[in-house]
Structure 1
């Protein structure tokens, strides 16, 4: 059978490659094999980087823990090896090797975490896999894996390869190689499927594989697809659970446990319900078990409602039972303070270590309205109607209010999750699931915190192309988060967070009511093709309000038809048909306020019929109703309360128009998301190597010197003009002569370089006398000229001064900004932000989004700047920051944007070592609670 996931490090025969022979898991020692009875000598082992340890999600949606191997793992390794089959051992070592000698164990567990690196994968207290590389020169290493037989097929080798490759890149390794027996096709396919370009050869009955581990676009895409499938599978297991156990069920009425049992049973759950309570024999007519382990059948999901201090014991019971996931309703965790935070940290670590995913703690629960898997595993007594929207929120109390609103509006949900403290399962996990869920067409998010904005940005950019995402973000202005939500400190301004949402296509709204306003339009009506609107109604006053509201939010009213107060159904039908057939109309707003003693049912039938058949969105203010009134609903074959084509209604025309404008903006965003053109390919390797060399000389980091900055920017095709520092009149004259005159003398100190009166600059200096005059004048008007930082530089072509900056934010990762250079930009806040990587559309929007953008397009007779060159420069800075996190700040403070292109005159940068990996590195990893940080 081809089910063995193991391969051997080549070199045991020393025949195929011109290098020192190596053993199958590490360097061969020249000493004779140590007898098993002897204790081998141990050596001090250096400490591995902290960020190499992580929880990971496997292909089946279960968790495991990956970490560097250590001397303390000797017994674990021996136990693991004893559980591996003889066939797997043979595939690994190419020879029978029934046991590991003490010298083998010592060698395999004592590595330097540099030239020899090894990772183990554990579940609970057991090691289930080991992977390692051993470098045989400065840039090449041999890689090998061994996976316990009954854990094969779970994607473990791929996870190990990702983490080994990342560790190798951090240690300067560029190429991996491995020897595999020809019939071990699964291992060969593991390497080929990784997304790297694999070269292979065949000699002495062994397949030799070799590939560069640079994270290519293909390799990153493969990794992200695996991440997507694993996270989606983990969430699907909750929603499609075939059996649920309520742990902490109670016979007493009005208790949390009793409510959970009642909601499951009365919610028409189609699977098996088990109750766990050691103090009683039955709850709500169901037999009660003393523990999860006593349940005779399988348990997919456990809903936990026991005191916080007892939850950890429940985790161990569920792990022994083979439960997939936990929904922890119990409170008393991070929301209560430091003691609760520590308790929550232990809970998450324990659950993941045994392969369980966790929703909560301190949550409301989950709901699935699919008739085939209908499930109300929550405290909500309201079971929302079947619908097209998936809803994620964090607050349990708010979750109840949300479900009430959904029910009252007739919106309907596909699935609902209240994640509470979001200790494990987060909104990113739900997005991965909803992306492929055919029942979910609209995603709704109420976010109280974002644990990993970079990953959120990456996922939403992809999901938004297929399905609209509507989000409310609390703490938007204060950047505050509730108790229990530990996240890294945000260094980026609030505008950067808003930009991330817009860049990702997320429809960000201010209130829950506005979220539902937008959602009911997206769930029931088609997307508009543009901003042109027709207003049809029977009230002149409301028609004028609708028109004013539309113009105020950027819509264009091309047609306004007011039918009069006595207009009937036929009048509305004719007017609506004409508006929808008009090629200059993209959407229709219908306003109907009936006369006294008129029900309006005939007009409602017309609106419903038109809404069902139209390929343009139709919104209404019908009888002042909110939501989707029954009269405007279209039956849905899928069983939803309101089908596709139902017409949403709003109590005020302003709300209808505002919701339509949000949807129009989203439709415009979708229309721009085509295939992005490629710039000239830039190889980041020289820049990475240069920064690494700088940090080797300056381990604590440094501000780059001018010549160092020129070299770094040149790697990305950015030409920084030479500025010669001068400290005397004579040096200034010499610098002017060296540059061939036509130069400028200017002060560059922070306090001077952006003076509005420009009194720190003397331009167009053509000879020594002019330079002497310039020097005398500037040193006379500038206080403390010795610290002014004078430089001499060639005169640049005229242009609009702009600045491009980037920073490595502790939460966001790279953030890039653009604005007009100078103090007025800072005073007016006229600066825009984006999160790399940037598309051509992103860069173009940045340049045009600032309020001062007309200066670049010939404002009041000025020259039109080469905007394409500015956009190119923005993309290059973004790529540099995205590629090299060690660049903590980069500021192109003065770029003159003129008709002939963009000239970079002044720049600065600071490099520092990376203390922690980015939260969205080139490996899959789950949230790890470390101290008060939550890198997801």
Structure 2
């Protein structure tokens, strides 16, 4: 398999260090690696002179990594000299002083990287560490412990603080990295590498600004589909989030990412997201040797709507109260041990709570006491917690005695915290991760619906408005526009009085359109409403309504089931409007609800972008105005094989994961080897998520499905995947790398050629210039098929057993 473009940064094969002072990089290297590294120390007057050959670099090869730490004014000279060895990646470390014009230096580094086909981290970066490989490419002297959590930050000081804190709590990392000025290498590109990095099982990010929305959203969705991702982002202003930050939070939710607000919470998230046990619901049982800790944890649980106190079954209550010194108390059903607590009773109490079907996690809060042998209790818990089958998070209050005990629980995989609040918040992080992952799975229905927007009419209407120079739409214009999107007019009648509501489509300069739901008359600001990014389906629309203050204040008790369904249909219609009309600047629709059941329409108004912005919004393929690419339902197509067999071509969806696994398992060994170029019995969990939870902006997977009888359900038909065509955009976004596999029983029926043609048309629609793929030299059937479709069959430069199949889309 070819190396990832960032492998020379994280796992280099050769290293050149250019600095004005000794760096810790060479001292950290393992003995066998010393022969692959070259160091050059510059004096204040030196120009850079490269030796005739560099360690680890064969003649004609490129240097993998150059680590540079010089004063800003010397960087152009150093980079100019380094061009001779064509480094794949350059890390520009902070030299202690900042340039007078940081933007100008960053622009120079970006231009140099493009000219020399290189990647540049920095300038002004604190660098990175890869402890598992003993790589310390940073300004921090101490190499962190090896672990499986990755931390990537926009802040040098935060990176240094994380490393210092981790040493104290004995937490290890796969990667710790500071982005510096992020001139050329983006945090989204780093995410792409970490998502596939076998040494990383969770990712924590600190961002002090939001990069390009589509690129970031795509990278976050791809990474969070296979690994937990947490983001720390601060709030501007007077402690109240701006609307942009609220929209950004919505983007994180939809990407399946957890967002934390405080520095200390980032540490909690790093600890708890390494924990492989996940709560399967919101109910948390508390076990404590005092009521004060319970009250402190309860205050956090009251604020975190994602978790709640568990209600124990009568059998669990009875068994707990039979243990010496234990009683079940409020708030909730907290389990309190106010007298001496034996290690055996503590272990039994945790076991009983974990066995209760209504408990999704257990929070253990213990404080030092003359009546408690805390060390013995810790030993007992260390035996029980890893086998509990549910997440168990502990808090040992105190420091002198408790610190070492917390470490013992951390080492056995039971996250331990210093305060009840941080322990309770750790549970809210796990619950939020589960909630957001469910949101990330929600996309539009798979079938090509009969109520597709009438886009020809929409375009004609907007062209007419543009010719007239009109940006504001009147009532009749708005009604006309909504009709193209099949607005459910039948739901609405005359309503004289009732509850006023409003739905608005608004636009964030960086994140694109979003939907706002709240009470009519509310100011459009965070906290008074709920917002969500399009596209919406009914589940996302429902959650949008239920997150609003209006729901908690009125609608939860007064809104009828029928009226809720009507409101959901309206939201779906406006979501389609936001997706399909990039020229829309804003849209406002006021509603009135009477008796919880009848709805009426109020004011409707809309505005369009300025003419020059409107034209730009329509130009280009796809949904460039949106942060999240909608499900490409226009690609859902029924088809027939040569023998008349009906099948359906459609983009893959997250719920296809098990169908895809069954497809791969049922392939012959030869077909699996031809597709994956190595023996593979089935897809790993991460590969399964990778192929089924795709981001349609960066890739496309088309499946061929047929209806077959299901013996397990009395022969009723079920959908089965019999073919898969997939492409992934190259970094330049001009072309894509493709792969195709057809089930053995469905080969030589014309399915592969039809599926491949569908992928070619989708690539052309996306505006790509070419498709290319690697095919085994011995796969004659596939090579013949692709040549028949217009591909060039070329030799593969790095491997004689492979062929390179290439198609110029602009010539079709």
TM-score if structure 1 supplies the norm length? 0.57
d(CA) in 2 for partners of 1:567 and 1:375? 47
In the TM superposition, 1:109-120 aligns within 5 A as none
State yes or no: 1:327 paired with 2:91. Answer: yes
d(CA) in 2 for partners of 1:797 and 1:238? 66
Corresponding residue for residue 24 of structure 1: none
State yes or no: 1:520 paired with 2:287. Answer: no
Shift in Å at residue 365 of structure 1? Answer: 0.5
Corresponding residue for residue 112 of structure 2: 350
Structure 2 residue corresponding to 1:374, chosen from 110, 125, 134: 134
Highest Rg: 1 or 2?
Answer: 1
Corresponding residue for residue 835 of structure 1: 533
Change (3 A) 1:505 1:378: same
| Residue aligned with 2:340, SS | coil
| Residue aligned with 1:241, SS | coil
Corresponding residue for residue 606 of structure 2: 908
Shift in Å at residue 717 of structure 1? Answer: 1.5
Q: Is the 8 A contact 1:607 1:647 kept in 2?
A: no
| Residue aligned with 1:438, SS | coil
d(CA) in 1 for partners of 2:400 and 2:523? 43
Change (3 A) 1:812 1:826: closer
| Residue aligned with 2:479, SS | helix
Corresponding residue for residue 715 of structure 1: 484
| Residue deviations 1:394-427 (CA, integer Å, cap 9, x gap) | 1212211111112212222111110011222222
Shift in Å at residue 290 of structure 1? Answer: 2.0
| Residue deviations 1:838-866 (CA, integer Å, cap 9, x gap) | 3433211111222122576475x676661
Change (3 A) 1:833 1:323: same
Structure 1 residue corresponding to 2:546, chosen from 848, 851, 854: 848
State yes or no: 1:569 paired with 2:343. Answer: yes
Q: Is the 8 A contact 1:525 1:611 kept in 2?
A: no
Q: Is the 8 A contact 2:152 2:205 kept in 1?
A: yes
Corresponding residue for residue 68 of structure 2: 304
Corresponding residue for residue 872 of structure 1: 569
Corresponding residue for residue 287 of structure 2: 536
In the TM superposition, 1:780-799 aligns within 5 A as 795=494
Structure 2 unaligned regions, length at least 5: 312-332, 618-623, 630-696, 699-728, 734-812
Structure with higher RCO (Cα < 8 A, 6+ apart): 1
Structure 1 residue corresponding to 2:413, chosen from 646, 654, 669: 646
State yes or no: 1:582 paired with 2:356. Answer: yes
d(CA) in 2 for partners of 1:827 and 1:399? 33
| Residue aligned with 2:195, SS | helix
Change (3 A) 1:322 1:634: farther
Structure 1 unaligned regions, length at least 5: 1-58, 62-232, 283-287, 481-489, 636-641, 722-792, 929-936
Change (3 A) 1:383 1:896: same
Q: Is the 8 A contact 1:517 1:627 kept in 2?
A: no
Q: Is the 8 A contact 1:629 1:649 kept in 2?
A: no
State yes or no: 1:553 paired with 2:304. Answer: yes
State yes or no: 1:246 paired with 2:6. Answer: no
Corresponding residue for residue 515 of structure 2: 816
Shift in Å at residue 241 of structure 1? Answer: 0.7
In the TM superposition, 1:358-507 aligns within 5 A as 358-370=120-132, 373-477=133-237, 492-507=243-258
Shift in Å at residue 302 of structure 1? Answer: 0.8
d(CA) in 2 for partners of 1:626 and 1:874? 56
d(CA) in 1 for partners of 2:154 and 2:526? 35
Shift in Å at residue 603 of structure 1? Answer: 1.7
Corresponding residue for residue 667 of structure 2: none
Shift in Å at residue 270 of structure 1? Answer: 7.1
Shift in Å at residue 671 of structure 1? Answer: 4.5
| Residue aligned with 2:417, SS | coil
Output the aligned Cα RMSD. 3.9
Change (3 A) 1:677 1:827: closer
Q: Is the 8 A contact 1:634 1:646 kept in 2?
A: no
Q: Is the 8 A contact 2:243 2:525 kept in 1?
A: no
d(CA) in 1 for partners of 2:560 and 2:13? 69
d(CA) in 2 for partners of 1:427 and 1:655? 28
TM-score if structure 2 supplies the norm length? 0.65
Structure 2 residue corresponding to 1:591, chosen from 350, 359, 365: 365
Aligned length: 593
| Residue aligned with 1:276, SS | strand
| Residue deviations 1:17-65 (CA, integer Å, cap 9, x gap) | xxxxxxxxxxxxxxxxxxxxxxxxxxxxxxxxxxxxxxxxxx978xxxx
Q: Is the 8 A contact 2:236 2:242 kept in 1?
A: no
Q: Is the 8 A contact 2:590 2:604 kept in 1?
A: yes
Shift in Å at residue 880 of structure 1? Answer: 2.1
d(CA) in 1 for partners of 2:528 and 2:399? 40
| Residue aligned with 1:885, SS | coil
Shift in Å at residue 626 of structure 1? Answer: 11
Shift in Å at residue 374 of structure 1? Answer: 3.1
| Residue deviations 1:69-91 (CA, integer Å, cap 9, x gap) | xxxxxxxxxxxxxxxxxxxxxxx
| Residue aligned with 1:566, SS | coil
Corresponding residue for residue 102 of structure 2: 340
Structure 1 residue corresponding to 2:37, chosen from 262, 273, 277: 273
d(CA) in 2 for partners of 1:593 and 1:600? 8
